[in-house]
Structure 1
Amino acid sequence: MSGGRTATVRWVPAAGLDDLWEGDLLEVAAGGERVLLAHLPGGELRAYQARCPHQEFSLADGDLDGTVLTCAAHLWEFDLHTGEGVNPPGCALYRFPVRRDGDRVEVGIPEDGVRHHHRCRE
């Protein structure tokens, strides 16, 4: 899995399920972080840092085709099942834990802060 999950997270409300239909992307502020929520086919929820590793453009402006997100700025692609780069393959998005709590979506923000942002191999 991508990103640097830590053992202790605090769960913070991020959105209502009515705000995030299947196939949608939504950028939210959660626990001091900009988070991209994705509602993938089959009802899976994913949460990543909301900026592209290339030049920090908002991923919420991108195009979601199935589980592949294409950044609108320079067409970098990421598989939102894993956060791993499709093109280029050496990059990955930082992934946050995410869960449903009734009709709310909550994101797990590391208690000790986000230590690792997205990563790209040189």
Structure 2
Amino acid sequence: MDTIFNPLIGGLLIGLATTIYLLSLGKVIGISGILSQLLFKKGRLLPFLFIAGLIIGGSAYGVLTEQTVAFPESRSPWLLIISGLLVGYGTRLGGGCTSGHGVCGISRLSPRSLVATAVFMVVAIITVSITN
């Protein structure tokens, strides 16, 4: 039963959080935008609290449910750094990240977000097909 309800509850909480954020601040939630605010703009308290909440919330859930994440193989630090930089460049080029476009943009029926999310999904499917 948990395999059905955990994702459902998680999805509902994500929807609730994005709705509260949009209604209270007039902004959509997108991790790349929030991280950019934290690193490069004034008024860094709210973005800091948001990202700290993601880290603390995920860690607390893992501790309380005694779940661990097993990484199947080690990755080169250089590969991770280059991958992170490419993802960062892609989010700037695409005007947002998967969370911003996929969660907030699609729910607002943004044409740009519908196209961006479709492209994300197609590229992800191709990438998994090639790497596996």
In the superposition, the TM-score normalised over structure 1's length comes to 0.24
In the superposition, the TM-score normalised over structure 2's length comes to 0.23
* Structure with higher RCO (Cα < 8 A, 6+ apart): 1
**Which protein has the larger Cα radius of gyration, Structure 1 or Structure 2?**
2
Q: Indicate the structure with greater strand content.
A: 1
